[in-house]
Structures are given as C-alpha cells and as structure tokens.
Amino acid sequence: MEHLKVNTIGVLTSGGDSPGMNAAVRAVVRTALGENMRVYGIRFGYAGLLENDMVEMNMKSVSDCLQRGGTILYTARSKEFAAPEGVEKAARILRQAEIDGLVVIGGDGSFRGARDLTAAGIPCIGIPGTIDNDIACSDYTIGFDTAVNTVIESVDKLRDTSKSHHRCSVVEVMGRNAGYIAIHAGIACGAIAALVPEVPFDIDRDVCDRIKKTLHLGRSHFIVMVSEGVGNTEEIARYIKAQTGVDTRATILGHVQRGGSPTGRDRIIASRMGYYAVKLLRSGFGGRVVAIREDNIVDYDIDEALSFHKDMDRELYHLVGTISI
C-alpha cells in the first residue's frame, strides 16, 4: 500500500523480546534522523501505545544499546489493542501525536496488529523479531542466532557433567511451534536426537535404540534436545532411563534463552532491517513486512507475509541423528 510522504514515525517492540531488537530500534532511529524525520519511541508495545506512553528519540536515546539484550522500549501483549476499537483508538493517538508511520518489531501477532493499523490509516512496517525463527516469510528472525549460542553455551556445560557421571541430559529448549533452536543447537552440541513439534518421532527408534547402540560402542554421555512444543520433557527423561538404564535427567533451559548480548549476526541483520524499514516508510510504503531471503533484505505485503508456510529443513533434522552415531 502506498501512502503520502511520512515525516514523523514511531517505533515499538511487541510480543516476546529477543536479543537484537535494540539494534533494530537504533537503526530505525538513526536512519530516520538522517532523513530529517522525527521519531518517537513507543514503550510497552501496543499496550503502551494505547496509554500514549511515548517519548521523542534523538541520536543519544539509542546510544549504548546495541550490545544489550532485551529491548530498551520494553514490550508487552495487549488484548485491548487487538479488538477493532483498540486499533481505532491507537490510530487516533498516533494521529494526535502527528505520527504518520510506525515500525513494529515483533512476531506474526504483532504483524496482524500492524496490518490493522495500516488499514486504519497509519502505514506500518513489520520487522521479524523472535528467537524462534518461526516467521514464515523470512529465512531469519532477529534473536535466533543469539538464542542458539546461549543454548550451546549451557549444553556444553551440561555435557561436562554428563560425561563425568555417564549420564543422558534431556534438554528442553524454546520453540512452541518450531524446532529450529532444537535442531540447530542439536547439531552444534552433538545431540543424539532433536525432538521437534513439526516431525513425528518414535522415542524407541529415534532415541532409546540409538543410545543402546552407541552404549555398546563405548559412548557414555548423551544429549537429547527437545523443543518445548513437544512437551513432556520430564516424562521423556524417565522413559529413556527406564528403557536404556542410563541415568537420565531433564533440564529446562527456559527464559535464559531470551537474554544475553546479541551476536554479530543478530546485530547486523537487525541493523539492516531497521534501516530498510525506514526507507520503505520514507518512500511512502506501508503495510509491509521486512524479511531476509538468501541474504537479501526484501519486503512483502503483510497479508502475503502471513500466508507463507515455512517447511522444516528435513536434511538438517536428519543430520542431528546421522552424525551422532
């Protein structure tokens, strides 16, 4: 959707936070200032927008945030906003503040809000920020690389103790509907299996038999990666112990995976996307999602972006098991 020239923009982070969001906010602010635009930081996502919680940003507002995890704008979820009256109220507040374009950094839910706000007359651009890498229109989402590296660091430590005790560690990682973290970290940590919500598995064939087989070959420690979307991590651990006789413990990594200083990859992609989003608004475009495809920054209509389907890379999935035996 093409609009009139945008001179003042807002930026917010929405849904779950992810490392690298600050790099995107910084790029949005600095690019906008470079274009002689005014830019407001809206705190606590759409919830804060409905409360008029915004502050004008200058160059210094985003100093010293590039290397920090979390989001300096804070984030939230808002039921009130998702209703039609909420969207209308938000559009009214933005018009009152003379904000004529908005950058929304978040996941699919946040993009649906951005689509509705665009329809209500405020052109919005979405930037994919979530550690799960589960946004179908983009090969990559901001925060994924940092999250995978956080898991690797923790599992390397678990491996030390697993090895000392001849143990199996069943590690639950984030990913309600997507197994990207489990598969990537599984490969990087030498897991014997990665159990993910997208691929049906047979615990005997895919885990226990592999453990028994490699026990015979003299292997004494095992890592099994499980996406949170699979559920029953404790139960899986008990079952493995019962079937293999190997002392098996479940570890749920939890929210540590969302934290930490963003990796170079996350900072760079976030910066490129933030820059690109402002250029789109400046050129009069709204209702778009910024994405990355084969290392090129591209953009899609929001509805089109939401209609994409992302297939699990089966080759990567099978790689976990193949190289662990």
Q: Which of the ranges 112-120, 222-230, 241-249, 256-264 carries the binding residues for ligand ATP, by CB under 6 A?
A: 112-120
Nearer to ligand ATP, 109 or 321 (CB): 109
Catalytic residue set: 132
State the nearest-atom distance from the C-beta of 76 to ligand ATP, in Å. 7
Query: How many residues sit in the footprint of ligand ATP (CB under 6 A)?
Result: 17
Residue closer to ligand ATP (CB basis): 83 or 323: 83
Binding of ligand ATP by 146 (CB under 6 A): no
Hey, which residues does 12 pair with through a beta bridge? 104
Tell me whether residue 113 or residue 287 sits nearer to ligand ATP (CB atom).
113
233 near ligand ATP, judged by CB under 6 A: no
The 3-class SS string of the chain reads: CECCCCCEEEEEECCCCCCCHHHHHHHHHHHHHHCCCEEEEECCHHHHHHCCCEEECCHHHHCCCCCCCCCCCCCCCCHHHHCHHHHHHHHHHHHHCCCCEEEEEECHHHHHHHHHHHHCCCCEEEEEECCCCCCCCCCCCECHHHHHHHHHHHHHHHHHHHHHHCEEEEEEECCCCCCHHHHHHHHHHCCCEEECCCCCCCHHHHHHHHHHHHHHCCCCCEEEEEEHHHCCHHHHHHHHHHHHCCEEEEEECHHHHHCCCCCHHHHHHHHHHHHHHHHHHHCCECCEEEEEECCEEEEEEHHHHHHCCCCCCHHHHHHHHHCCC
Is 89 near ligand ATP (CB under 6 A)?
no
Of the candidate residues 3, 112, 265, 310, the single one contacting ligand ATP (CB under 6 A): 112
Nearer to ligand ATP, 216 or 309 (CB): 309
Give the range of 102-110, 183-191, 245-253, 266-274 binding ligand ATP by CB under 6 A: 102-110
- Smallest Cα–Cα separation from 211: which of 252, 181, 166, 174? 166
Give yes or no for residue 130 binding ligand ATP (CB under 6 A): yes
Under rule CB under 6 A, residue 197 binds ligand ATP: no
**81 is a site residue for ligand ATP (CB under 6 A):** yes
Binding to ligand ATP (CB under 6 A) within 46-75 occurs at: 46
**78 lines the binding site for ligand ATP (CB under 6 A):** yes
Given candidates 65, 72, 82, 319, which one binds ligand ATP under the rule CB under 6 A? 82
Restricting to residues 10-39, name those near ligand ATP by CB under 6 A: 14-16
Binding site for ligand ATP (CB under 6 A): 14-16, 46, 77-78, 81-82, 106-110, 112-113, 116, 130
